[in-house]
């Protein structure tokens, strides 16, 4: 029997808010994180943000499909950093453009690892939420 998924918006909205706070906060001096954590938390939170946003947009889609879309999207954004045309570099120089497309530091393999970790955390969270919903019915 195939269970119908209808994700609630609230838990994913909370995840998005937390990522919007913790990601940038990890790169400030407001809270002193160890260098390893501050170096990779932002990218991990970004990927978790993407995953949670996709869960809200595609509320009925299976977790593995959202995971695949999030990974492909994240990897394509990272690969786009090989491309340096004036128009996209000018977008990257803005705060929002830099947060979406990267700040132009170039392709970094470590970012791909962060994306995998962030999306995996999101997928595990999603499975927990879905399992909890299915236990209620």
Long-range Cβ pairs for the range 1-7 (8 Å, 24+): 3/130, 3/134, 4/60, 5/59, 5/60, 5/61, 5/62, 5/130, 5/133, 6/59, 6/60, 6/133, 7/55, 7/56, 7/59, 7/60, 7/126, 7/129, 7/130, 7/133
Question: Which among 15-24, 93-102, 117-126 has the top mean pLDDT?
Answer: 117-126
Q: Give me the number of domains the chain comprises.
A: 1
C-alpha distance from residue 108 to each of 9, 96, 122 (Å):
32, 20, 22
pLDDT of 77-121, one tens digit each?
A: 888 888 778 887 888 888 777 767 776 567 788 889 999 999 999
Percent of the chain with pLDDT over 70: 91
pLDDT band at 1 (very low <50, low <70, confident <90, very high): very low
Please report whether residue 33 resides in a domain.
yes
Provide the residue range defining the domain that includes 98.
Answer: 9-136
- Threshold 0.75, pTM exceeds: yes
Measured at the CA of 96, the angle between CA 74 and CA 14, to 5 degrees, comes to 70
| pLDDT for position 22 | 86
Average pLDDT, the chain: 86
- DSSP track, 79-91: HGGG---HHHHHH
Please report whether residue 1 resides in a domain.
no
């Amino acid at each position: 029997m195939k269970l119908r998924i209808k994700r609630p918006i609230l838990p994913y909205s909370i995840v998005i808010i937390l990522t919007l706070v913790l990601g940038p906060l990890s790169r400030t001096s407001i809270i002193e994180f160890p260098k390893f954590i501050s170096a990779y938390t932002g990218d991990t939170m970004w990927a978790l943000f993407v995953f949670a946003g996709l869960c809200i947009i595609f509320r009925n889609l299976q977790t593995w499909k959202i995971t695949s879309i999030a990974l492909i999207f994240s990897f394509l954004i990272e690969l786009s950093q090989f491309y340096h045309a004036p128009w996209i570099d000018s977008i990257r120089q803005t705060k929002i453009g830099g947060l979406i497309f990267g700040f132009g530091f170039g392709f970094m393999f470590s970012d791909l690892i962060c994306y995998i970790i962030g999306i995996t955390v999101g997928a595990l969270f999603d499975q927990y939420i879905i399992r909890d919903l299915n236990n209620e019915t």
